[in-house]
Amino acid sequence: MPLLMITGYPSSGKTHRSTQLHTYFTSRISSSSLPLRAIHISDDTLNVPRSAYAEARTEKTARAELMSAVKRELTRDAIVIVDAPNYIKGFRYQMFCEAKAVQTPSCVVEVHIGTPIDTCRENNLRAREVDPATAYADEVFDNLVFRYEEPNGMTRWDSPLFTVLYDDPAPPGEAIWDALVGNDGRVKMVRPNAATVLRPATQQDYLYELDKQTSEIVAHILTWQKDHPGEEGGQVSVPLVQEVLQLPTKPLSVPQLQRIRRQFLALNRQHSLDKARIGALFVDYLNDQFGR
């Protein structure tokens, strides 16, 4: 069923907007007698403390727990609202892939634009006075704001994108409903692609080819950057791959590329991809990660 990702600065009102949407969807489902249910997943429902975002190790664990909950609840009869920072575009892409794998639509509700950072900081301070466990430490707050990767409605995994301004009385519930469910009450079906359909790997030496081809493409990128110092991005042809790789303006480091490669391997390790298409799919995945 549809996946709705809430994103925004810390203390920008994500939980408030999520609660409004959950109430709207529950009411809409009840009045229409559709065989659906609305599910609200958040750091609070998963008992993830705000302190989890203080260091990389605990934050990684928190994101893994959130992803597990999303996978668990993405069924044929649920609208899943993910109320969490969701500030990393790669993490939003992972959730997009999970939704696409079960042939259900997704969208992003962005609440940070209309909520100034100073207002978010004031909200955080007020929350700390009421209950310190519901607030972020100052250094964690500043770090999350600094690292926030704003959603872009031009990318597949961030669209359709709905922006909620600070003084809006409520999110555009009807528009979001139409994007995910439709006026006829039938949840829209999404056609999965080869990178998201889970099938047993049956081709001989598939895992070897998956590792080999992705490693060669990473090495090709690093070699290109070394041979073109100072160039800001550009199109790069990859041997034996028809798709063109569009590099970002900032140079890519080895850890960055290896992290993206590991994500791709995790998504496709159990798939039965055509070995001749592994390179093309990895290039397409890289272009998505680079924000093409």
pLDDT exceeds 80 at position 193 = no
The tens digit of pLDDT for each residue in 56-71 reads 899 989 999 999 998 8
Q: Which long-range contacts (CB under 8 A, 24 or more apart) does 64-71 make?
A: 66/41, 67/91, 67/94, 67/95, 67/98, 69/41, 70/3, 70/41, 70/95, 70/98, 71/98
- Range from 79-83, 174-178, 192-196 carrying the lowest mean pLDDT: 192-196
The domains of the chain are located at 3-180, 206-289
pLDDT exceeds 50 at position 208 = yes
Average pLDDT rounded to a whole number, residues 100-108 = 74
Looking at residue 114, its pLDDT comes to: 63
Look at domain 3-180 and name its CATH class.
alpha beta
pLDDT exceeds 50 at position 201 = no
pLDDT exceeds 90 at position 36 = no
Phi and psi for 80 in degrees, rounded to 5?
Answer: -100, 120
Between the alpha carbon of residue 29 and those of residues 5, 59, 103, the distances in Å are 19, 34, 20
Task: Tell me what the pLDDT averaged over the chain comes to.
Answer: 84
The tens digit of pLDDT for each residue in 133-163 reads 889 999 999 999 999 998 888 888 888 888 8
Looking at residue 183, its pLDDT comes to: 64
pLDDT-derived band at 196 (thresholds 50, 70, 90) equals very low
pLDDT exceeds 80 at position 189 = no
d(CA 63, CA 48): 9
pLDDT-derived band at 248 (thresholds 50, 70, 90) equals confident
Average pLDDT rounded to a whole number, residues 106-116 = 69
